[in-house]
Structure 1
Amino acid sequence: MSALAIAATIGWITPVEAQESEDTRAELAEMRAQIKAMAARIDSLETQLDMAKQRAATTTAVGNIAQSTPENAEPPDAIAWKGAPEVENNNGWTFKPRGRLQYDVGFTSVPAASGRVDGFGSELRRARLGVEGDIPGGFGYKMELDFAGGATEVTDAILSYQDKGLSVTVGQQNNFQGLEELTSSRFTSMMERAAFTDAFNFERRVGLALQYATGSILLQGGIFSDNYDDLSNKNWGLDGRAVILPKIGTTQLHLAGSLHYTALQELSTVRYRQRPLVHFTSDRFIDTGALDAESEIGYGLEAAAIHGPFHFASEGYWQHLTRPGALSDPTFFGGYTEIGMFLTPGDSRRYKKGVFDRAKPSSPVGNGGFGSVEVNLRYDYLDLTDAGIVGGTQNGYQLSLVWAPIDYVRFLLNYARLDYTDALHAIPGTSRDYSVDAIGARAQIDF
């Protein structure tokens, strides 16, 4: 081939090759774009696959749990707070610890010539710990011990059953002595209950009790032996109490009467006496001494009202003693009248099932409030003189101030002027008529 021909041929091929190279580059660029898009799609699919695997694993785990859990499995226990944790399960069982701590301090002032010791005193008044709760089927239980005074004492030990308005209780419990005695020491307006409740030996007893409530009527009754610590003996008794508790507008009323009979075993003696308000002194200024006895019959009347911050309460109790042979049968009497009011707005004394209940501060400390403050005045009378027995008479005038910063904490300040006639301890050269002053303070917590 001539040089001219070769040159012509090369000249023709070169443009063709240039064109083909441009087309190839375009195709390669398009292929690279497609490969990049495909890689992005693959990454997306892999991510979706991983998520799908995770969902599948979770579903499998849940399914395994559901298969391993019985259909009738109980849900977790519920826990409420009522001064202490109360645990309740789905079957109706409940369990709650309970208790109270009361520490008292104060002074008594007595005539020096009486020979009695006065001045400062203090004590751990109550230190109780127990449990309570419900049992399926309408049953319930309560057990409480008191560790104050260096000894352990059974206060409550009961099994109960309730069906609508009817309740049955068996065990160590309060019999139905009256409003003041049945109101818990956590909620009383004074540091100590009215003089007659202690003087006439009101205490818990082992027995069987029934209560029936319908509308504004409450009926209570039972048969009892003696206190747990005094068993076994042949003492037994019957108690009955009827309460009318209507609410008229915003006023809660309380009217009640009670009857009590106790048969005492042969050669029994009883003794009626009382301290000057505070419990930490062992001195008693009215005292019948030991009296031979066959039986006791008690009659009680009660009245109370709550209206807004004000309340009123009054009781009278007659204790008739039957003595053996030709001995005289005395009837002793005790009672009180009280008025009180809350000084803090929105607070009121509470009432429930025939007794005074917990008064909850409307503005407790911790929520920007001061708690509740109440003031109470009481006249407390006790006459232990009758049928030739001269045990003395008390006219007591009491004032109390109660501060409850929160629901379960109280502080009480109590003063009493106690005028005695025919007191037990004589002042040489004078009569047995004189006065004793007592002042006490209490710090209390319960749950």
Structure 2
Amino acid sequence: MTLLRSLAAGVGLAALATSALAQSAPSAEEIAILRAQVQALSARLEQLEAQSQTAAQAAPLAAGSPAAVTATAPRPVQTAATTPAPAAPSVDWSTGIPELRSPDGAFTFKPRIRIMVDATATNGSDFGARNIAGTELRAVRLGGQGKLGGGLSYWAEGDLADNTISLNNVFVAYTRKFAGNDLEVSFGQRLNDRGLEGGTSEDQVPFLERSLMISTLSAQRGAFGVGVSSKLTGANWHASLSVTGDAVGDGVTNDTTTVMGRVHWSPMKTEKGFLHLGAFGFIEDLTPFATLPSRGITIDSHFNDNLRLSTGAYANPKGAKTLGLELGGVRRSGWLLAEGGRRVVETASRDFDQNGYAISAGWFLTGETPPLSTRTGTWQRPKVLKPFGTEGYGAVEVVGRYDFADLSDNPTGGEGDAWVLGLNWYPTNNTRVSAHWSAWSVENRTGAFLGEDSGNTALLRVQTGF
């Protein structure tokens, strides 16, 4: 405002000078009028300056009020950058096969693939028909599994073997926490939880064929049955219970009914290893059968149908009871396991015993930890330390087994045993090349190959599984 007053004074002087130039001798009256006008203009300017200072002092308070903020805040501008885009589905390749996931992770889908190709030869038998060689697609399995949200999941897969298609694991499951542990209840068909070897998927067992003991202590309906299964799993233990019928019914008679349970515990767990303890058992209602036909149990060669151990037939069966025990452990890169048990077939005339046991061991020459799960009590795929083609040459495991089965309590039942020595090479976690050799002996009391016999079988397998 000082500048304005100076300007006003300048204007007044300019007016006086202009008047002086216009009139060489202004009158006293004219000078007095001009002076009064300048004084009035200066007073008005002083008044305006006082009002301006009062408004400046009130401005900071007004700026902090909600009204001022509302009035002065800039309006947000909606642009594509500030609008969140919807999350896209993801694909996880960490296991070597794509797993599709919804944006929230509630729904997933992962394909399942398994291919097993065999080449085998048997010789040394007294029966020429048993000394045969050939190749076989041992199994080609396709399917998928995933989550459905809300604790629900599914699994469905089919298997092509022996030029026939069959369904294997096909079920819907519900999983939740129970007392700090994992509880799973499934409805449908899934692999029996029948011992360590019998409860493991076929492509993850260290040997190329299941032992005589596991095949002997098998339910009449086989390794699969449709029904309800439950499993409670802790940090180093699990317990399971299932009630199932047949895998495939004939639609004319009742199914057999099987109630099966298993428990396992892995105590003394340290960084160097652990102990494995387990037991399994099941009871069967066999009344739909008038006669149980003789079963042929594989002896280290799925390809050679002439090399089988016969169980013998059972007339008027009523039921069966089975009990098996497991003892073993892991120490650094080695493992040792013993499994055995008895199955009693109850008939109208009397009961018949079926016995079997197996002792097996293995060692990873390349330092891997044996993939025996302390949570589920089953074999898993090994975690190869140096996969082939990237850092090293894969994992190498030496395995050996002796197994025995005695069905001779039945006059038409046989008896057999086998020594197996094998080498497993795992180029990656999901691939395996195995060469196994076995020396076997068998005595059958029924069928085309009667009496005692012995020989050896060589088996080579290439497989992959996801």
- TM class by shorter chain equals 0.7 to 0.9
Percent identical residues = 26
Q: Deviation per CA, 1:271-320, whole angstroms, max 9, x where unpaired?
A: 34323311001114431332121211111111221111100111112110
**1:75-113 Cα distance to aligned partner (Å, 9 max, x none):** 44243331210111233111100110001111011434x
3-state SS of 2:162 partner: helix
**Bigger radius of gyration, 1 or 2?**
2
Q: Distance in 1 between matches of 2:239 and 2:264?
A: 6
Aligned to 2:333: 309
Length-normalised TM-score, structure 1: 0.79
Of 416, 428, 439, the match for 2:458: 439
* Aligned: 1:318 with 2:332: no
1:419 equivalenced with 2:441 (yes/no): yes
Partners of 2:454 and 2:283 lie apart in 1 by: 34
Number of residue pairs the alignment of both structures matches: 378
Is 1:338 matched up with 2:338?
no
SS for the counterpart of 1:116 is helix
Q: What does 1:197-216 correspond to in 2, within 5 Å?
A: 197-199=214-216, 200=218, 201=220, 202-216=222-236
Following superposition, the deviation at residue 254 of structure 1 comes to 1.5
User: Any conservation in 1 of the 2:97–2:111 contact (CA below 8 Å)?
Assistant: yes
Deviation of 1:188 after TM superposition, in Å, equals 1.1
Aligned partner of 1:239 among 242, 251, 260: 260
Give the conservation status (yes or no) of the 8 Å contact 2:312–2:446. no
Is 1:119 the counterpart of 2:136 in the alignment?
Answer: no
Q: Which residue among 300, 306, 311 is the counterpart of 1:283? A: 306
Q: Which residue of 2 is the match for residue 378 of structure 1?
A: 401
Take 2:163 and 2:444, find their aligned partners in 1: how far apart are those partners? 34
Query: Equivalent residue for 2:168?
Result: 155
Q: Quick check: 1:426–1:432 contact (8 Å CA) kept in 2? A: no
Does residue 162 of structure 2 align to residue 143 of structure 1?
no
Secondary structure of 1:196's counterpart equals helix
The structure-2 alpha-carbon separation of the partners of 1:252 and 1:390, relative to structure 1 and needing over 3 Å to count, comes to same
TM-aligned CA deviation for residue 211 of structure 1 = 0.9
CA 152–422 in structure 1, closer or farther in 2 if over 3 Å, else same: closer
Q: What is the identity, as a one-letter code, of the residue corresponding to 2:365? A: L
Map 1:60-139; keep pairs closer than 5 Å. 63-64=79-80, 73-91=86-104, 92-112=106-126, 114=127, 116-139=129-152
Amino acid at match of 1:319: R
Asked if structure 2 preserves the Cα contact closer than 8 Å seen for 1:110 and 1:116, the reply is no
Quick one: which of 186, 192, 197 aligns to 2:209? Answer: 192
Whole-angstrom CA distance in 2 between matches of 1:257 and 1:359: 24
In 1, Cα distance between equivalents of 2:362 and 2:176: 36
CA distance in 2, matches of 1:152, 1:434: 33
Divergent runs of 4+, >6 A: none
User: Quick one: structure 1 residues 426 and 63, their matched pair in 2 at CA, closer, same or farther if it must change by over 3 Å?
Assistant: closer
From the superposition, tell whether residues 311 and 161 of structure 1 become closer, same or farther in structure 2 (CA, over 3 Å).
same
d(CA) in 1 for partners of 2:308 and 2:171?
36
Instruction: Indicate if the aligned counterparts of 1:375 and 1:402 stay in contact, CA closer than 8 A.
Output: yes
Call closer, same or farther: CA 1:135–1:353 in 2, change over 3 Å: same
Seen in structure 2, the aligned counterparts of structure 1 residues 424 and 212 have a Cα distance that, compared at 3 Å, is: same
CA separation in 1, counterparts of 2:192 and 2:361? 26
Q: Tell me how far apart the structure 2 counterparts of residues 88 and 116 of structure 1 sit (CA, whole Å).
A: 53
1:393 aligns to what? 415
In structure 1, the residue matched to 2:288 is 266
Task: Sort the Cα spacing of 1:75 and 1:291 in 2 relative to 1 into closer, same or farther, 3 A.
Answer: same
Q: Which residue of 2 aligns with 1:361?
A: 384
Q: Is the 8 A contact 1:317 1:334 kept in 2?
A: yes
Deviation of 1:145 after TM superposition, in Å, equals 0.6
Q: Secondary structure at the match of 1:362?
A: coil
Tell me the amino acid that sits aligned with residue 151 of structure 2.
G
Distance 1:345 1:212, change over 3 A: closer
Letter in 1 for 2:318: E
Deviation track 1:307-363 (CA, whole Å, cap 9, x = no partner) reads 111001111121100112xx2211111110011101113453342411111112101
Q: Compared with structure 1, are the counterparts of its residues 82 and 240 closer, same or farther at alpha carbon in structure 2 (3 Å cutoff)? A: same
Q: Distance in 1 between matches of 2:437 and 2:79?
A: 70
How far the C-alpha of 1:426 sits from its partner, in A, is 8.2
Secondary structure of the equivalent of 2:456?
strand
1:357-383 Cα deviation digits (max 9, x unpaired): 111210111223010000111011010
